[in-house]
Structures are given as C-alpha cells and as structure tokens.
C-alpha cells in the first residue's frame, strides 16, 4: 500500500487515491442506487482508501454528504473528509454564492449532513464573480479559526486567484481537473502549489471514465449521460482518444494491471500531484482504483507513457466545475 501523504503542512494524512463522491449524488450519473452507493463507500475504506471528497452541492438535497454519514459514520475517526461550499442548487440549476454568510451557513449544514463535528478539508468550490475573493477567504479563515474545519482548500481557481486568496487565508490544498490529456496546470498553478507547499488534489484523473478504456469506439451514450456535452466524447477528439488508449493498452498488459490503474499510477507519480480523486458509484469501480496504491510504475514505463501522450498531441478541451 502506498504511503500516506500530508495535506499541505496540516499533519492530516491521506491516501494518494481518494473517492470522489459526486457520482453517488445521482445528479449526472445514471443507474445510481443508495445500496450501491453505501456499498461503494464501505468498499473504499475496506480496500485502503481513507480520503473522501464531497461538496455542499453534490446532490440536490445534499445526498452525497448524507450517504457518507450513513455509510461511514461509525468509522469517522478512520477517514478524512473534504467538502466544499459556495455553490448551491436553485430550481436544479447551479448557483454561485461565496458570500461570508452563505459559506458559514453551508458549512454548518454540511456538518449536520455529515453528522460530524469537523470537516477535515473545506474548499471554496469556485470563486464567485459577485463577491470579493477577500471576503470569501476571510469567511473560510473564520471557520478554520473556530475549529469547524481543519484546513482550507481552493477549487477551480486561476493562479492569480490562488495568490490573492492565500494572502488572506492559508491554502493547504488546491483542486483542479488534471489528467494525461488535460495538463494546463503544469505551466501555471502547479509550480505555485509546489513552491507554497499546497497539496494538489486532482479530479477527472480518468477523464470522466474515458481513460479507463472501457468505452468502445462505437459506444452509444445514454441521452441522460452528462458526458455527451463534452467535446472529448465525440467526433474527432473521440477518435484520437481511442487511438491513444490503443497505445496505452499494451503497457497495462505488460504491467499486468487494468488500464485505469496504469493511468492513475502515472497521475499520482507526477511531480506536485498529491491525490487523484476517483469518482465511483459501484464497489467494483473503487476497488479497482484502490489497487493502484499496491504497485508503482517504473521510470521506463513512465517514459513510454509520456511518449504516447506526445503522440496523441495537444487537446482542445475545457473542464467544468464539479
């Protein structure tokens, strides 16, 4: 099992593979059931994962946070919980509100849903264009000082926003999207995080399942599947991605691991990357991902993966708030 990694300078230790708890909210993922969600959360802990990432807006009524409490409440001291505030639902449309009052109220509601007395890592989910970033930072600093949260994170921030926020409230973790095909942070936020000892917790390490290699070229997406709206899942980009996966498959076979584990292992070995957040809605998915922590890619394999990425070429794609 891979050694635990520290969140910033907090002393809070987490596994390099975490369970992302957006899918169990059932908002964009299909075929989500409470029984499967509870079993997935339990399987994650049983297979060595101690870090769970959720948010106030994961679910129209906080379903994700409530499920964590139901599944893992008796194991609270074994796990580290990250949540986020500043985004909520109104008429099933996401709304940003990062005012001090709202961040305080949402944190308190998250604590109730999670049935806990503290949130280990609490992020501003995204900057609010209608609220000064300094106000949001001061609000989270207040929650930190009160003991309701143990550390502060920033999600979906630009480099300038990170620096501005950090000047008011110390940031221990930054959460962007990042994967083999979406590496924009390497030339901007990532060097800043390394310099300032800020942990980087990346979402979409498998690019919403694409890099797991289980979607064939002729895959037909369900009309309710949220991935249909992303360019990476259609047309020329889809074909290029399938060609890329064909380059990776022999490397996974040589290592005798599932393709998803190859991709995740590469990710958590990247300089400055602390944790890969793996969304899951069924036990088998999180068990496969947890297996990533039991082995390590060789330098030769990493070099061959990097060559495959170079062959794939530049990607024109945009992440979304998640």
pLDDT at 28: 86
Q: Helices then strands (H, E): number in the chain?
A: 10, 12
Low-confidence stretches of the chain (pLDDT beneath 50)? 319-322
Classify residue 227: in a domain, yes or no.
no
- If 0-12 CB within 10 Å is exposed, 13-18 middle and 19+ buried, where does residue 298 land? exposed
**What does DSSP assign to residue 118?**
-
pLDDT at 316: 55
Classify residue 10: in a domain, yes or no.
yes
The CA distance from 164 to 322, in Å, is 22
- Domain of residue 207: give its range: 5-214+259-297
Classify residue 282: in a domain, yes or no.
yes
Averaged pLDDT score across all residues of the chain:
95
pTM for this entry: 0.94
pLDDT digits (tens, 9 = 90+) for 269-312: 999 999 999 999 999 999 999 999 999 999 999 999 999 999 99
Please work out, in degrees rounded to the nearest 5, the angle formed at the alpha carbon of residue 12 by the alpha carbons of 204 and 60. 45
The CA distance from 292 to 218, in Å, is 28
User: Which of 131, 132, 140, 41 is closest to 84 using CA atoms?
Assistant: 140
Classify residue 246: in a domain, yes or no.
no
Number of domains in the chain: 1
The CA distance from 247 to 172, in Å, is 36
Which residues are catalytic, by number? Answer: 58
Classify residue 244: in a domain, yes or no.
no
pLDDT digits (tens, 9 = 90+) for 197-209: 999 999 999 999 9
Here the CATH number for the domain that contains residue 175 is 3.20.20.100
Cα-Cα-Cα-Cα torsion 175, 179, 182, 188, nearest 10 degrees, comes to 50
Asked whether the beta carbons of 25 and 37 are under 8 A apart, the reply is no
| Paired sense of beta strands 80-85 and 121-124, if any | parallel
Classify residue 229: in a domain, yes or no.
no
Classify residue 243: in a domain, yes or no.
no
User: Which of 180, 226, 184 is closest to 205 using CA atoms?
Assistant: 180
Asked whether the beta carbons of 280 and 20 are under 8 A apart, the reply is yes
């Amino acid at each position: 099992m891979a050694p635990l990694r520290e969140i910033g300078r907090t002393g809070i230790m987490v596994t390099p593979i975490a369970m992302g708890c957006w899918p169990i909210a059932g908002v964009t993922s299909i075929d989500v059931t409470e029984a499967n969600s509870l079993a997935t959360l339990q399987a994650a802990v049983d297979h060595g994962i101690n870090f769970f990432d959720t948010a106030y807006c994961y679910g129209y009524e906080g379903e994700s946070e409530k499920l964590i409490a139901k599944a893992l409440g008796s194991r609270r001291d074994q796990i580290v919980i990250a949540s986020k505030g500043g985004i909520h639902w109104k008429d099933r449309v996401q709304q940003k509100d990062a005012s001090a009052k709202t961040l305080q109220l949402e944190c308190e509601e998250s604590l109730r849903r999670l049935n806990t007395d503290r949130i280990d890592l609490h992020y501003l989910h995204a900057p609010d264009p209608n609220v000064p970033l300094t106000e949001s930072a001061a609000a989270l600093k207040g929650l930190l000082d009160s003991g309701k949260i143990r550390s502060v994170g920033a999600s979906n921030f630009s480099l300038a926003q990170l620096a501005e926020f950090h000047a008011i409230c110390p940031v221990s973790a930054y959460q962007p999207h990042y994967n083999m095909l979406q590496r924009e942070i390497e030339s901007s936020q990532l060097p800043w995080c390394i310099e300032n000892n800020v942990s980087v917790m990346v979402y979409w390490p498998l690019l919403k399942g694409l890099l797991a290699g289980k979607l064939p070229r002729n895959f037909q997406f369900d009309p309710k599947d949220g991935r249909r709206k992303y360019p990476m899942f259609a047309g020329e980009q889809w074909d290029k991605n399938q060609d890329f996966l064909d380059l990776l498959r022999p490397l996974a076979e040589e290592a005798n691991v599932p393709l998803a584990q190859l991709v995740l292992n590469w990710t958590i070995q990247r300089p400055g990357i602390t944790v890969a957040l793996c969304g899951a809605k069924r036990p088998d998915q999180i068990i496969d991902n947890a297996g990533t922590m039991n082995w390590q890619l060789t330098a030769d394999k990493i070099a061959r993966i990097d060559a495959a990425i170079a062959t794939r070429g530049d990607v024109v794609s945009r992440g979304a708030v998640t």
